[in-house]
Chain A
C-alpha cells in the first residue's frame, strides 16, 4: 500500500534517519521558540524577560519543562481517565506529523543516494496538513471534554467552533496557490515559485492564510480556547505536569508548522531572491530563517493585539475572512484560466 506517491523511492534507512533528524530538529526548535517568545515579549513590554537561568536566561525553557515533568500526574474525579491521558498525545502527535511535510530543501545527493530534505513529499501536501489540523482539534476537544470541568468544556467548545470556522478560510486561501502552481506537492509549490514568490501575486491569500493560522494555532488574538481571563485556562485548565507540557509543546510546534507552511507556500521555501543559488546545504538554514521571521510575527502580534470577543471572532471568520477567501479563489481561478 502506498501512502503517498513520490517521484522516487528512498532507501529505508534514509527514511528512518530523516525521521529521526526532523524529529530531533523539531524538538530542539520548540524550547528556542519558548525562550524567544518570552524574551521578545519582555522587550516589547519594557522588561528583560527571563534572564536568571543560564546565560541570558537561555536555560529557562529547560527549567520550565523539568519543573512540569517532575510534577505529579493527577486528574479530576469527574474526568474520563483514558481520554484525559490520550488527548494531549493526540495534540502532540498531529503537530509532529504535520512537521514531517515541511520541505527544508530540494533533493540532495548524500552518501550517493538521492535524499529529499523533508520528512515526506506527499502528493497531497496541503490536504495532509489540513487532515492533521482536523485531527488536532480532537486533542483539544477531547481534552476539554474529558476533564469534567465547565471551563475546560467551554474552552473545548470554542476551540471546536473556531478551528472549523477558520479551517475553511485557511483551506480556500491555499486553493489560489495550488491553482497557480498546478500541483499539490509542497516541493512542487516551492519550485513553481522560482520566478516570483507567491506572496506577491497571492497577497490576499497570504494575509488570509496568516490570519486564519492565528486561529488554527490558538494564538493571540484568537486564543479564545485558553482565554485566561474568563475560562481560567480553557481546555487545559485541569491539566498539569507532563500532560500540560505536551499541550504547551504542541501549541508551539503548531506555530512552527504554520510558519513552515507559510514559508513554503508563500515565501518561496528554500529559494533566495535575486537569482542567488547557494549550495544545497544552505537550504535548510534559509527555510529556518524565513520560519523564524514568521514566528517572530506571531510573537509580535501576541504582544500587540488584545483577545477578540467570541462573537467578533465568529463574525470575522464567517463574514470577512470566508468571503474574502472565496473571492480570492474565484479571481485566481479566472486569472489562471485566462493566462493559460
Chain B
C-alpha cells in the first residue's frame, strides 16, 4: 500500500516511522467530548419509566389508527400535478387555421442535452401547407426513453410549438414504443393526471 503513495505526498520517511509506532500511543487530543449522561434511575423508577414510556408508545401507535392512512391509492387516486410540471411533450397547432406551429428549425434538437429530439425539415408548398412558416417538420421524433424532462426544448422554441404536458405515466413494454412521433405528439393527449388548482 505504502509503495503506491508518491514520495512527495507523504512526509519524508513516513512509511517506516508509522510502522514502528504502537497503535495504542494514538492520542485523541482535544477532539474528545465527554458524554453527559443523566444519573441512572433506581430500579423502581427505572421500571416505572419503562412502563410509562411503553404505554406512551402504545398510545402513539394506537392514535395512528384513528388518524387513518395517508396512502394515496395510486392507480385509482393520483397526486395532482402543478401547472408548471414538466411531463410528456405536446406539439401545438394554431387554433384558427389548424396549421402546425412548428417550423422545423431544429432549435429544440440543438438545445436538447440528452440528444433525444430528431427533426427533419421540409419546404411548405402551396399544395401541401403544413405549418405557418416557410418550412415544416416532416419528421419530428422524441425518444422519451432518453428524455430527461429538463424543458430546454420548450425554452428554445421560438414559436411555442412544443411545450411540456402533464402526463407522467409513460411506461411501456418496448423501448421502441417510447419514440414518440409527430402525430403522437400533436394528438390531443389523454388527460390522465389531475391538475393542481391555484393555491392548492
**A-to-B contact residues, CB < 8 Å:** 40, 42-48, 51, 300-301, 303-305, 320
Contact = CB atoms under 8 A, between A and B. Distances in A.
B69 A48 contact: yes
A43 B67 CA distance: 9
Interface size classification for chain B: 10 to 19
A156 to B, nearest CB: 29
B103 to A, nearest CB: 49
Interface centre among B60, B61, B62, B64 (most CB of A within 10 A): B61
A145 to B, nearest CB: 34
B61 A44 contact: yes
Contact of B62 (A42, A44, A51, A305): A44
B54 interface: yes
Contacts of A46: 64, 67-71
B71 A300 contact: no
B21 interface: no
Interface in B57-78: 57-58, 60-62, 64-65, 67-71, 73
Contacts of B54: 304-305
Given A47-B69, A300-B58, 14 more contacts: A42-B69, A43-B68, A44-B61, A44-B62, A44-B64, A46-B64, A46-B67, A46-B71, A48-B69, A48-B73, A300-B61, A304-B54, A305-B54, A305-B57
B127 to A, nearest CB: 56
Contacts of A301: 58
B61 A303 contact: yes
Given A44-B65, A45-B64, A304 B58 contact: yes
B187 interface: no
A38 B138 CA distance: 56
Contact of B70 (A44, A47, A320): A47
Interface string B103-134: 00000000000000000000000000000000
Contact of B61 (A51, A304, A320): A304
A65 to B, nearest CB: 25
Contacts of B60: 304
Contacts of B58: 300-301, 304
Nearest first, the 10 A-B pairs at minimum CB distance are A44-B61, A304-B61, A304-B57, A43-B65, A46-B70, A47-B71, A44-B64, A303-B61, A48-B69, A47-B69
Nearest to A221: B54
B47 interface: yes
A301 B59 CA distance: 10
A43 B64 CA distance: 7
Contacts of B65: 40, 43-44
Contacts of A304: 54, 57-58, 60-61
Contacts of B71: 46-48
A125 B61 CA distance: 35
Contacts of B67: 46
Nearest to A42: B69
Contacts of B70: 46-47
Contacts of A42: 69
Contacts of A320: 47
Nearest to A51: B73
A33 to B, nearest CB: 18
B56 to A, nearest CB: 10
Interface in B141-163: none
Contacts of B64: 43-46
A17 B64 CA distance: 44
A44 B62 CA distance: 6
A48 B72 CA distance: 10
Contacts of A45: 64
Contacts of B47: 320
A308 to B, nearest CB: 12
Interface centre among A44, A51, A305 (most CB of B within 10 A): A44
Nearest to A43: B65
Nearest to B58: A304
B62 to A, nearest CB: 7
